[in-house]
A and B are shown apart, each in its own frame.
Chain A
């Protein structure tokens, strides 16, 4: 059966007691794309993913994966979905080969295919020479690579990556990006969550932003940016004493609402920013404000995020905890 969408989510709702983790979400993820799921901590990303993976039962709504109903055909769905969790799940007491052998057994792979698949996987992860070494002796990056190929061993059509690069150093992160792109080029649909907005911006074909369990916006990174504003973001670096006055000046003379923090004033110029910039500079000069630097750019994913969720992505540690607790009592 040919289906255009890898994942379709209809009216998905999940409640933990009184707390609604996911509220009537509708979402479709196309075949072969890299899809980013962004949201502040506690927004319902983990819950959505858990329902997608079939380890949490939705309160209502429906998910189809590769045309299969996620609830009714749960074990068939599990064969086509791979998952890589935030933490690295490899067994330190077992060798790289044994780790993969367990994955092969868990996914009911035919016995005669094991050797070939495991060999390929180890080769891809550049771990072939370490195949009989215990995973406990591996470096963080090696373990992560082993875990990625372990999640991919059953050749899923969709792979879900939960914050794949959190905690990795820059080198390993770039390596992980490369591997994600390579997977995607083989036709695997990639669904990822991330805290790094620049990562989502670079990697994802489309992004969904969710907050309080609701879908706030969905589109390509540039669509999302245009959605926030046609204008540009203005940043003025001045002194701490004058920041407030600069903000007041922007409001009174040009009608620009801005925020200031320490010595930095940030505002959005909605109409005709290129035309307005010189006037602003003149006005600043006239008022004899100290101006250390001025910059103007298109909104970033950060701006999109803040505009849509009203918060910075790392601001909601408290809510994150409550989501965790709710998940702990699930099922």
Chain B
């Protein structure tokens, strides 16, 4: 009853316009990319392979990271550190017998903005080394297995997708943050202005219960707006590769990030008396976090000096977790540990810090 008091209509309209505008309009953007990072694993270690790598680096479109094992290269790919993995097999450059390939290319569409350009560069370079660019096989399900001779390229994780799905995960994270910003912090300021906060603090209920109430109010709104944003995304053509279970994961991630965010917004709001100041500061904090979280474009395409802002950004993990279930189709255990772990830590920090740093500011 009190959670949605007075401005639920405004809030819903605002939070649904946002996904509609962004997913429907910006969702059609086809990004091209420059200097895409790829990982190269060289098992051949012969002059031809060195020349091949050299040629890959030639020009501006690829930036090559040398990695010793295929396993660690694939880890980089999964963590969006690189857009593709090129594995040069020991047989390179002699075409292997039968259907074996010389070069395997692995890529994941979660970085798809950068991938098409990278793939075409790799294949054009490989032509010079007499490795036949094979038909690019799409829609492979795990585990990836090189089957073609010459250059084989393998789409990891199997899900076919488009930018709308990629973007929807980012938008859900955004409206979740907005839900916390408005449901948690602003409702606290309003309550203080109306004097309700004073009544709450004068009553025998504990101060932390009041804070927790505000945190949960922000979270409930975030979940509602997150689900609405997801619905808009699905209508626009995005998909959840994991299905219904994926939706539950998304809701869990939204709950976790908005519990943490609401805690933070309440600390802010409890120290401010003006809604205007709070809104400006809130946006100043949330918008950069959002842009740096990889919501719009893969965070691997951020310049190096900005990478740390992406790494130490709880929203990155919320977006990456949602993207896993929406794009990849399953939630790899390593991602669960990292994404959910970071979100759990952020949640605990947000809520506990709000208990500790809350200032009632009533007079």
Show the binding face of A for B, using Cβ within 8 Å: 46, 50, 53-55, 75-76, 78-79, 81, 83, 85, 87-89, 91, 93, 98, 102-103, 106-108, 150, 324, 327-331
Contact = CB atoms under 8 A, between A and B. Distances in A.
A50 B194 CA distance: 18
A212 B273 CA distance: 27
A297 to B, nearest CB: 38
Interface size class of B (residues with CB under 8 A): 20 to 34
B237 interface: no
B203 to A, nearest CB: 4
Interface string B197-241: 011111111100000000000000000000000000000000000
B51 interface: no
B196 A91 contact: yes
A53 B360 CA distance: 14
A78 B6 contact: no
Interface string B321-363: 0000000000000000000000000000000000000011111
Contacts of B360: 55, 330-331
Secondary structure class of chain B's binding surface, majority of residues: loop
Given A91-B194, A93-B5, A93-B6, A55 B362 contact: yes
B195 interface: yes
A108 B205 CA distance: 8
Nearest to A323: B363
Interface of B: 1-2, 5-6, 194-196, 198-206, 273, 359-363
B204 A324 contact: no
Contacts of B204: 75-76, 78-79, 106-108
A327 B6 contact: no
A328 B361 contact: yes
A321 to B, nearest CB: 11
Of B6, B203, B206, which is in contact with the most chain A CB atoms at under 10 Å from its CB? B203
A86 to B, nearest CB: 9
B361 A55 contact: no
Contact of B202 (A53, A87, A108): A53
Given A89-B195, A91-B194, A55 B6 contact: no
A32 B43 CA distance: 92
Nearest to B197: A89
A143 to B, nearest CB: 12
14 contacts: A55-B201, A78-B204, A81-B202, A83-B202, A87-B195, A88-B195, A93-B6, A102-B2, A103-B203, A106-B200, A108-B204, A328-B361, A329-B359, A331-B360
Contacts of A55: 198, 201-202, 360, 362
